[in-house]
Amino acid sequence: MLFPDVAEGVHLIQHANVNCWLLEDDDGLTLVDAGLPGTWRELVDAVNHLGHQLTNIRALVLTHAHFDHVGMARRLIRELGLPVHAHPDERELAAHPFRYDHENRIAPYPLRHPRALPGLLSMLLAGAPFTRGIHELQSLTVEARLEVPGRPRVIATPGHTYGHVALHLPERDAVISGDALVTLDPYTALRGPRLVAGAATADEDRALASLDTIAATGARHVLPGHGNPWSRGAGRAVQAARRNGMA
């Protein structure tokens, strides 16, 4: 489903409990994160609704390379020749998106949090098991502006993965937080600003420290990798995430 202009020129594609973002300016579109394989139809519909064609997408930028954020990447490379930008520490994970470090075992979560099962099932039906890795990455430079539509500033937010980044859009008063701060934990179905459960977070201490980087943007809009946008300020989102902690 498309939610246009959640911030100025920033459009949300929400599918199977995973968010992708389209940044729009006069030079075209940037796709931030690539969802799951089944998100392709949602992407095509969203781009058309915005009055564009797929060929108007100039780049894919990854906040990180977990399987639910690279699902369409291989197809985007194959069909559009799209450049893919990610932190160099994500290179190995991008090639093997199911081989990720995590602090807790995954198995107990469905038993302890049965409300999460429908969301996890939707991810399976959206093709999660069919996600394939990619090798064609261009390395992001932290604190630099990316020369892609929207010109986001890259900020380091490691912890969820070792090379996780967020994208600050100061002219749009927004920060795309990826999974460094979410408003829906897909492993527990808990809502409100928080860290993703230890089943998918590599280093809780680093993840908590990265919340300060998100707060420092001062952005009004926090745009997460899972859950609905938050428009009450990055500082308040971080305060709530610290209270809620990590499951």
Supply the pLDDT for residue 120: 86
Identify the residue whose tokens are 């799951």. 36
Q: Quick one: angle between helices 204-216 and 234-244, nearest 10?
A: 160
Supply the pLDDT for residue 245: 85
From 155, 205, 208, 200, select the one nearest 181 (Cα to Cα): 208
Supply the pLDDT for residue 209: 97
Supply the pLDDT for residue 110: 64
Residues of the chain with pLDDT under 50: none
Distance separating the N- and C-terminal Cα atoms of the chain: 28
Supply the pLDDT for residue 109: 61
Supply the pLDDT for residue 117: 85
Helix (H) or strand (E) holding 243: helix 234-244
How do residues 61-73 score in pLDDT, each as one tens digit? 999 999 999 999 9
Spell out the domains of the chain, with CATH numbers in brackets.
2-244 (3.60.15.10)
pTM over 0.85: yes
